[in-house]
Amino acid sequence: AQSVTQPDIHITVSEGASLELRCNYSYGATPYLFWYVQSPGQGLQLLLKYFSGDTLVQGIKGFEAEFKRSQSSFNLRKPSVHWSDAAEYFCAVAPTTDSWGKLQFGAGTQVVVTP
């Protein structure tokens, strides 16, 4: 069955430290890949996306993600977190065989930033 897995439910990181959030997918063919962030009371905001090409993708707010086909992974990274990065992060995929683009989301990773 097609699936998106975010192995870490909760991550605590110190302000200024680096952050990596993991995402693995199980699909017949490489899907389109996305990372969204959700802050309390806010809608989901797209951080970055991967459709094809360069496997290192730059996004907004200083985030980047690396697509690794061999590992079926699309991990999100930030070199130095800010207190405002505290939020829930969702990895999402859209099958390339589906032109309608509906998204399948992982369960999310809650990020807590400590002083």
Partner 1 sequence: DTGVSQDPRHKITKRGQNVTFRCDPISEHNRLYWYRQTLGQGPEFLTYFQNEAQLEKSRLLSDRFSAERPKGSFSTLEIQRTEQGDSAMYLCASSLPGVSEQYFGPGTRLTVT
Residues that bind partner 1 (CB under 8 A): 4, 32, 34, 36, 41-46, 49, 51, 90, 92, 94, 96, 98-108
CA distance 101 to 98: 6
Q: Which is nearer to partner 1, 101 or 115 (CB)?
A: 101
The nearer residue to partner 1, 13 or 32, going by C-beta atoms, is 32
Alpha helices in the chain (DSSP H): none
Whichever of 50 and 85 has its CB closer to partner 1, that residue is 50
Closest separation between CB of residue 46 and partner 1, Å? 5
Task: Tell me how far apart the 2 most distant CA atoms of the chain are, in Å.
Answer: 44
Q: How far is the CB of 19 from partner 1 (least distance, A)?
A: 19
Q: Please provide the size of the chain in residues.
A: 115
Ranges assigned E (strand) in the chain? 3-5, 10-14, 19-21, 24-26, 32-38, 44-50, 56-58, 64-68, 73-78, 87-94, 104-105, 109-114
Taking the complex as a whole, how short is the minimal distance between the CB of residue 56 and partner 1, in angstroms? 19
CB nearer to partner 1: pick between 42 and 70 = 42
